Amino acid sequence: MRISEINIYPIKSLKGISVDSAVIERHGLKYDRRWLLLDANGTFMTQREVPKMATVSVAIRENGLLVTADGITAMVVPFEPQNGEEIVAEVWGTKSRAIAYGGGVDAWFSQVLGLECKLVFMPDDAGREINELFNAGDDVVSFADGYPQLLIGEASLADINKKLAGETPAVRLEMNRFRPNIVVDTTEAFAEDDWKRIKIGDAVFRSTKPCARCVMTTVDQAMGEFTGKEPLKTLSTYRLAKDVIHDRYGSFGMSPNAVCFGQNLVAESIGSTINVGDEVEILESY
């Protein structure tokens, strides 16, 4: 097996970037979800509430992040705010120190999304602690939901598309619906459920738990619109935690009815680089 895709999502819930290689940092892959949009109440924003976020593109440039959207002039956001206000940003109950941009940066995102926004950046020396059930002592994550990396096998996407073809032939999902960091060219659907430790190139990762999926998977990533109940409706018929990881869901702190798709990882090889084409080796299985 080899890596077929590497994706990063610099600003949480905006469009992702496909890359040929990525450096593993303590928060996750370099640039991945180090930036976050907050609403007028200081609550973190995602496609769950604002599906239009999927249509805003981000590109890495020498001097910052180039953000583009239809109908508005593109803007370069510096990698770090200059003299920005220091605040505390919270995602799913875990907090991190962050620095706000303000001014024209906030105005640009507010105009694009049609509501008041504030962009913040997580400094290198900040971070949110991952779930204590899987924390080796100093494991942190960026503004990603819970864990530094998400891996999905190609065969798993093929499996759900095969089932959808029988129920709703007009629906065919792209991998970007599930926003993985690492895609592997697997031949067995959901093989990643049983991977406990893996090696990619020279980098070692340990698995934490399957990724519990939410309404974001129902957002068309090209249109920035909700499309109905799929794929959650079909996944819920055969991908509940109690059915796919059996008695492990309790020790993983998961609801038995969580809909699982993909595997959350923590890197043990900070500073290493992974590349598309790298071989994936299973070191330990459940």
Domain-wise residue ranges, the chain: 8-125, 149-285
pLDDT at 145 > cutoff 70 = yes
> Residue 40 — pLDDT band, cuts 50, 70, 90?
very high
Task: Identify whether the C-beta of residue 186 lies closer than 8 Å to the C-beta of residue 3.
Answer: no
pLDDT of residue 139: 96
Sorted by sequence, the CB contacts under 8 Å of residue 62 that are 6+ apart come out as none
Q: Which pTM was predicted?
A: 0.96
DSSP letter for 97, please.
E
Gap between the Cα atoms of 130 and 224, Å rounded? 29
Backbone angles phi, psi at 221, to 5 degrees: -75, -15
pLDDT tops 90 at residue 172? no
pLDDT tens for each residue of 74-115? 999 999 999 899 999 999 999 999 999 999 999 999 999 999
pLDDT score recorded for residue 174: 96
Q: Could you check whether the bond before residue 256 is cis, i.e. omega within 30 degrees of 0?
A: no
Would the pLDDT of 231 be above 70? yes
**Phi first, then psi: what are they for 63, rounded to 5°?**
-105, 10
Bridge pairing between strands 149-153 and 260-267: antiparallel
Minimum mean pLDDT range among 41-45, 138-142, 189-193, 249-253: 249-253
Any idea which residue has 């974001």 for tokens?
A: 216
